[in-house]
Chain A
Amino acid sequence: MMSVLINVLGLLLITGIVWWFWLAGRKSPLQHYQESLVIQVKDGVYEPDRIEVPAGREITLSFQREDASPCAEYVVFSDLEISKQLPLNHITEVQLPKLEKREYPFTCQMKMYRGILVAS
């Protein structure tokens, strides 16, 4: 009885992981970029992590890192070949070139912290 329970629980957990981390869409609200925006790097995530930015314009994003975990140290825009070191407890500005209309992911160096820029 007990062993069936444990096995079912394990399988449920695996299904849950696959569904939650891979299949379920990330539905955090789309934040609009206005003049500037401070993105908090805190507790393992970027906040906000979905940002609508204007295309065809150079913009500056600010990252405030309060997460001491080493992963959080760099923010990487791999499509734009940009990476920036984020000192702890500090606002770091990242200048982006003119963007085309599409989505640009930004991540930590291990792609565990994930955010997305929606250029429109």
Chain B
Amino acid sequence: MSGQQQTFTLSGASCAGCVRKIESALKAVDGVDDARVNLAERTLTVTGSVSSPTCISAVESAGYGAKRAAADPRKQRELQRDKDRQHFRKLMWRSGLALALGIPLMLWGLITGEMSVNTSTQQLAWGCVGLITLAVMAFCGGHFFTGAWKAFRHHNANMDTLIAVGTGAAWLFSMAVVFFPHWLPESARHVYFEASAMIIGLINLGQALEVRARGRTSAAVEKLLELQDPTARVVSESGEVDVPLEEVQVGDQVRVRPGEKIPVDGQVLEGRSSVDESMLTGEPVPVKKAAGDNLSAGTLNKNGTLLFEAKKVGAETRLAQIIEMVQNAQSSRVPIARLADTISAIFVPTVMIIAIIAALVWFNWGPDPRAAHTLVVLTSVLIIACPCALGLATPMSVMVGVGKGAEHGVLVRNGKALQQASNLTTLVVDKTGTLTEGAPKLTDIETDGDVDELLTLLASLERHSEHPLAEAIVDAARDKELSLHEVEDFEAITAHGVRGKVDGRLVLLGNRKLMSREAIEPGDWQARAEDLAAMGRTAMYAAVDNQMAGVIAVADPIRKDAKDAVARLKNLGLKIEMLTGDNQATADAVAKQLGIESVHADLQPEDKEKIIGELQQKGIRVGMAGDGINDAPALARADVGFAIGAGTDVAIETADVTLMRSSLHGVADAIELSRATLRNIKQNLFGAFIYNTLGIPVAAGVLYPLTGMLLSPVIAGAAMAFSSVTVVSNANRLRLFKPSSAQEVRP
């Protein structure tokens, strides 16, 4: 392998002289095979096995600047897949060749039973077979031997060591039988060339199957990569042209037609359409887009044509960030893996010692043929003990689990977050924006007179107010297409409400205090207002010309799916506590409707973090769901912070779990997924442990008194080869994971 290509973008290079200087500076660096500068594109391509910081410092010492150019992830993935395919073919080829020798030899032994060496003809014949076996072992399994030797020189022992020692011992013993048969009792003059060949063949086959199965574990990232079309339709003064995606610049105007994918992140300039964002957010309903709305690369334009301005391109797009995050998370560690680590650290030398002890026991106290039994036990123990499955157990599951999360709009930051999310006992939820829409709406308007007339008056008045609730009233009037009037003498009375003259009538809108201040008797309306307040709504009194006109109520409506999601979470065994800065009455009302028992109201932002800390001190494992920006300290404090619906760059960078979809269902999905992943990891670890803890004694011969047979090294080889295939396949089973839907939860 002659290394690889890396591309850098150059700064400060502008002439042919610079090109020569940079190229020769790099060619002087160890490991560089070739260096080429493209002056037009200001890029430098380096071939060879050299790290990019070395290249950059070489460019810098020549007096220029260089930065690593972002590689196209799709090309990289394609390259990787090609390499995997090559590797697969190589392994299959090696396996085929070794099995082509091993299987006939084994059949010969089974059918004729003649694998012993007694005559000089047999010596010659088996000698030849021995040499062929050696050639096959060197060609198909040479890497095991070089690896074992090199590791040995470094006082290290690894998988290769076990395979090399195991197959090598079988071969050496067989050759000893060929050359000096008379040293051994007649019953032990048996050769084991077929075992060596078969083991090498089977292990190569196992690794080939594993390479194939592993390819599937990264399917989720591949799906994300495929979301982008390779070209974009850029509109300029000279017309519309399809340009490669990499050439789209920030500020370009891009057109997407119905059925096309949005190529880069941007903001709509013209047109209306609905866009399917489910691939990024998991949100099934298409979102309407019009001028001013944001678009994300990789989402699908459904029915209208949109013209938009490119705001983020290349690695800056949300899609690219998601992909990067998923890839980072996929290779992160899960704390539970530590268990496997401690065991495997001393594993190989320990196994070698066990194998020798077992072999000596058979040699000294075993039944005849002792020499043969000794060898079989030694080889089988070495081969079956290979702990590759143990090492694969967690990374494979994490890989699939994290990828599966991305498919459902659940971005997990790392393996630790994934593990912690699986055993949370309490979920603390921020009310505003998570359980509720986050924007108040007019819910009730009650009057003895005409509703629209009152609404017109109040909305006209509130247009001048800056109170957040005012907007809800103005919006309601706008929805009804009422035309608003001019206001005179507008006055906002702090902590009371507003007053002003609309169409010559004096209009008041505010709380109880406002009415008493103006000496207006609320009468029956007071009871109505109290009813509304008890339902968690903010009720206000309206008076016209010093007469009570009615009450109106504004509330932050509960999100449509919040109740189902809360039910799902409770069903997962989580206790739910609500946090809010709102008053107790409003909070209680929302909690009651959603079936939440525990409420903390009237909170300042810093209180939220404190409450989480207090819960943690009681030993409770707390998850926190909030909408990202103002909840940041609380999200950080919690064992697992779920940033909901943000999908903003900040949230992606800081939250343990980022939910692309603005729904508490995402939290339930994330918890279900993490539990499924952890279960899968435990299955894998259990399987791998059992395999080794049972495999080694069986190979050592504990079943001999029962079965009268020893585990053949060939069977040990097959078991070893397929143990890791089993682990990878089990991890792949996670790809079938589906979050429970709300319907399943409701009785």
Contacts and interface: CB of A to CB of B under 8 A. Distances in A.
Interface residues of A, number: 56
B151 A43 contact: yes
B349 A109 contact: no
Interface string A86-120: 01111101000000000000011111111000000
Contact of A36 (B54, B337, B346): B54
Interface stretch (B258-266, B353-361, B696-704): B353-361
A28 B210 CA distance: 33
B54 A35 contact: yes
A64 B49 contact: yes
B331 A68 contact: no
A12 to B, nearest CB: 10
B87 A90 contact: no
A38 B331 contact: no
Contacts of B158: 44, 69, 71, 110, 112-113
Nearest to A84: B331
A24 to B, nearest CB: 6
A62 B51 contact: yes
A70 B54 contact: no
Contacts of A37: 51
Given A3-B363, A69-B159, A109 B391 contact: yes
B359 A10 contact: yes
Interface in A10-57: 10-11, 13-14, 17-18, 20-22, 24, 26, 28, 35-38, 42-45, 49
Nearest to B54: A36
B4 A90 contact: yes
A37 B344 CA distance: 28
Interface in B257-284: none
A102 B552 CA distance: 68
Interface string B126-163: 00000000000000000100111111101111111100
B331 A74 contact: yes
A69 to B, nearest CB: 6
Contacts of B143: 43, 68-69
A66 B146 CA distance: 13
A49 B150 CA distance: 12
A7 B80 CA distance: 50
A44 B340 contact: no
Residue of A7, A13, A83, A113 with highest tally of chain B CB at under 10 A: A83
Interface in B3-25: 3-4, 6
A108 B345 CA distance: 10
Interface string B329-353: 0111100011011001111110011
Contacts of B31: 38
Interface in B41-83: 49-54, 57, 80, 83
A88 B4 CA distance: 11
A45 B210 CA distance: 22
B390 A110 contact: yes
A110 to B, nearest CB: 4
A2 B50 CA distance: 55
A45 B57 CA distance: 28
B207 interface: yes
B387 to A, nearest CB: 6
A114 B348 CA distance: 13
Nearest to A88: B83
B341 A78 contact: yes
Nearest to B370: A3
Interface residues of B, number: 66
A113 B674 CA distance: 30
A6 B148 CA distance: 24
Contact of B395 (A13, A64, A109): A109
B388 A45 contact: no
Contacts of B207: 68, 70
B364 interface: yes
A5 B391 CA distance: 38
Given A70-B207, A112-B344, A44 B148 contact: yes
A69 B346 CA distance: 19
A110 B391 contact: yes
A108 B148 CA distance: 15
B579 to A, nearest CB: 30
B333 A70 contact: no
A14 B353 contact: yes
B49 A70 contact: no
A107 B6 CA distance: 26
B724 interface: yes
A114 B476 CA distance: 68
Contacts of B391: 70-71, 108-110
Given A43-B150, A81-B333, A111 B51 contact: no
A49 to B, nearest CB: 6
B392 interface: yes
Contact of A74 (B210, B338, B347, B395): B395
B28 interface: no
B721 to A, nearest CB: 12
B1 interface: yes
Interface in B390-431: 390-392, 395, 416
B349 A17 contact: yes
Contacts of A67: 147
B640 to A, nearest CB: 16
A70 B392 contact: yes
A43 B51 contact: no
Interface in B596-652: none
B3 to A, nearest CB: 8
B147 A69 contact: yes
Nearest to B378: A10
Contact of B83 (A70, A74, A89): A89
Contacts of A14: 353, 356-357
B215 to A, nearest CB: 12
Nearest to B389: A70
Contacts of B374: 6
Contacts of B4: 89-91
Interface string B175-214: 0000000010000000000000000000000010010000
B664 to A, nearest CB: 30
Given A10-B360, A14-B356, A21 B333 contact: no
Interface of B: 1, 3-4, 6, 31, 49-54, 57, 80, 83-84, 87, 143, 146-152, 154-161, 183, 207, 210, 330-333, 337-338, 340-341, 344-349, 352-353, 356-357, 359-360, 363-364, 374, 387-388, 390-392, 395, 416, 724
23 contacts: A3-B363, A6-B363, A36-B57, A43-B149, A44-B148, A45-B150, A45-B154, A62-B51, A67-B147, A70-B392, A71-B159, A85-B330, A87-B83, A89-B83, A90-B80, A91-B51, A109-B341, A111-B344, A112-B159, A112-B348, A113-B151, A114-B154, A114-B156
Given A22-B346, A60-B51, A81-B333, 20 more contacts: A10-B363, A11-B360, A17-B353, A20-B152, A21-B348, A26-B154, A36-B54, A43-B147, A44-B150, A44-B158, A66-B1, A68-B87, A70-B207, A71-B391, A74-B395, A85-B331, A107-B345, A108-B391, A109-B391, A110-B390
Give 3 closest A-B pairs by Cβ, nearest first: A62-B51, A36-B53, A44-B151
